[in-house]
Structure 1
Amino acid sequence: MITVIKNTFLTATINSFGAELCSLKNNENKEYIWEGNPDFWGKHSPVLFPIVGTLKNNSYQYNETEYHLSRHGFARDMDFKLVDKKENSVTFSIQSSEETLKVYPFIFELQIIYSVDQNSLNIAYKVMNNGKSKMPFSIGAHPAFALPGNFENYAIQFEKQESLEYYHLENDLISNKTKTLEVQNDCIPLTYELFKNDALIFKTLESNSVTILENSNPKLRVNFKNFPSLGIWTKMNAPFLCIEPWLGYSDTNENSGNLFEKEGIQILEENKTFQSEFSIEIL
């Protein structure tokens, strides 16, 4: 099911499958979200839950039982229920089921709330632990922004001046190898060479936003104050860039397999609710 929300400035289109944002246009009909061409990457903006990235051996242990979870979890492949709809906002929900309990033995509800406010699309996550034990989880966003034309006409700008140390991925796991992004005039020029080893993973940042510039002109900004980690990714020769606010990230080779000990994991107490949000601001 496709749902549209809008205001004077923006129109957002969301698919109930995965509660995935698939279009964001301004009032001049300019598209900001990647079209999802499967020749490069067939997604637009999947929701990552209850893990972000990849588990070591795609598995973990809980209460002396081994469970298997595929990369980025299962929320992106589930049909969400529409629970509230207004002209400028919409709320989707999934809950634990017999199928999810086979791979993630926790009683939960996940709500995703999209709302347009002036020139921003706000995306809020509510994770509810409805069980009788602590619940470990990660959640993250994966929006892909359309970058038509020459990829090297674009650059990214972090909100604050800082040491931009990022981690490499090796076989989808975070390695202990790091590099630092080179900043030129407060910007990082985009090249495909940057992503030859997959995504750039920032475990912690001082910045609360990243701006995409085209020919030095600000195009859009992703604001992520409530997310400590960030991924930035594209595929070779693909005309898009993903800016991904995360609470959690892939395992390392040293992970014990205990989900409660996983680096970056969130622990939610029984009958408690976790909330976080980020926004896409059109400039």
Structure 2
Amino acid sequence: MNTTISNSTLSASIKHSGAELYSLKDNNNKEYIWEGNPDFWGKHSPVLFPIVGTLKNNTYTIEGKEYQLPRHGFARDMEFQLVEKTENRAVFSLKSDAETLKKYPFEFELQLIYTLNDASLDIEYKVINNSESKMPFSIGAHPAIALPENFENYSFEFEKEEVLKYYLLENDLISNNTKVLETSNNLVPLNYKLFENDALIFKNLESNSLTILENSAPYIKVDFEDFPSLGIWTKEQAPFICIEPWLGYSDTAENSGDLFEKEGILVLDAGHTFNSKFSIKIL
């Protein structure tokens, strides 16, 4: 099943499977979200929960008991319920059940709230801890922005001038090796060589937004004030770029395995609710 919301400027379509955004069009019918061609990457904009990235040996522990989770968790592969719908807003809900408790021993509700405001799509995450104990989790976004022109015709600009230090992955885990992303007049020209070692992972950015430019003209802006970490990723010759606001990231090789001790993890008190949101603005 799918749900579409719209306003006078944009329309957005969301799959109930994974509550995944798969289309964002303007009123000229121009598409801004990657089509999901499996020859490159078969997704569009999955939600990453209850982890972001990869666990060491795909395993973690809670109070000494081992559990397993796949890369980026399980929410993106589960069916969400549509619990609220207006013309320009839709709320999707995923609740813990017997299957999720085998992989993640916490009672939770995850809501994804999509709202169109003028030329922006706001995507809000609401995490509710229905357990009687503290709940460790990460959450992140993975929207793939369609790039219809030649990849090298695009560049991006961070909100602030800063040293753009990113971490390299080794065997899908965060290594201690870093590089600095070179800029020219605060612009980063896109080329596929940037991603030959997988995603660029920024643990702590000063910038709260990033603008993609097409032929030097502003194209899309992603605002991520609530997310200190960011991944940027594409695949060789793929006509998209993923701008991924994160709260959390992959394990390091030194990680103890205890989810409460994981670098970048969030911990939510029993009965409490966590909120964060980012937005995609068409320019």
Q: Which amino acid aligns with 1:214?
A: E
Distance 1:143 1:269 in 2: 29
- Name the residue aligned to 1:171: 171
Measure how far apart 1:186 and its partner are.
1.4
* Pair 1:186 & 2:147 matched: no
Identify unmatched segments of 5+ residues in structure 2: none
Is 1:119 aligned with 2:119?
yes
Partner of 1:32: 32
* 3-state DSSP of counterpart to 1:260: helix
Amino acid at match of 1:178: T
Q: Specify the SS of the correspondent of 1:102.
A: helix
Following the alignment from structure 1 to structure 2, what is the Cα–Cα distance between the partners of residues 256 and 64?
11
Amino acid at match of 1:187: L
**Counterpart in 1 of 2:225?**
225
> Structure 1 residue 148: deviation in Å?
1.3
Instruction: Give the structure 2 partner of residue 79 of structure 1.
Output: 79
Equivalent position amino acid for 1:99 in 2: E
Instruction: Write the distance in 1 (CA, Å) between the matches of 2:89 and 2:47.
Output: 18
RMSD after superposition? 0.4
Paired amino acid for 2:208: N
- Aligned partners of 1:83, 1:47: CA distance in 2, in Å? 18
Amino acid at match of 1:86: T
Q: Distance in 2 between matches of 1:26 and 1:118?
A: 11
Deviation per residue, 1:178-207 (Å, 9 max, x gap): 000100121000000000000000000000
Q: Secondary structure at the match of 2:40?
A: coil
Structure 1-normalised TM-score? 1.00
- Counterpart-to-counterpart distance in 1, 2:89 and 2:81: 15
Aligned equivalents of 1:119 and 1:148: distance in 2?
19
User: What is the distance in 2 between the residues matched to 1:276 and 1:61?
Assistant: 26
Distance across 2 between alignment mates of 1:218 and 1:149: 14
Equivalent positions of 1:1-283 (< 5 A) are 1-283=1-283
CA displacement 1:134-180 (0-9 Å, x = unmatched): 00000000000001121000001000000000001111101110000
State the TM-score, normalized to the length of structure 2. 1.00
SS of the residue corresponding to residue 186 of structure 2 reads coil
1:235 match: secondary structure:
coil
Alpha-carbon distance in structure 2 between the residues aligned to 1:171 and 1:20? 27
The residue type paired with residue 204 of structure 2 is T
Amino acid in structure 2 at the alignment position of 1:197: N
Total equivalences in the alignment: 283
Query: Which segments of 5 or more consecutive residues in structure 1 lack a partner in the other structure?
Result: none
Query: Aligned AA for 1:148?
Result: P
Q: In the TM superposition, what whole-angstrom CA distance separates every residue of 1:94-148 from its partner, at most 9, and x where no partner exists?
A: 1110000000000100000000000000000000000100000000000000011
1:59-114 residue CA offsets vs partner (Å, 9 max, x unmatched): 00112210000000000000000100000000000111000000000010000000
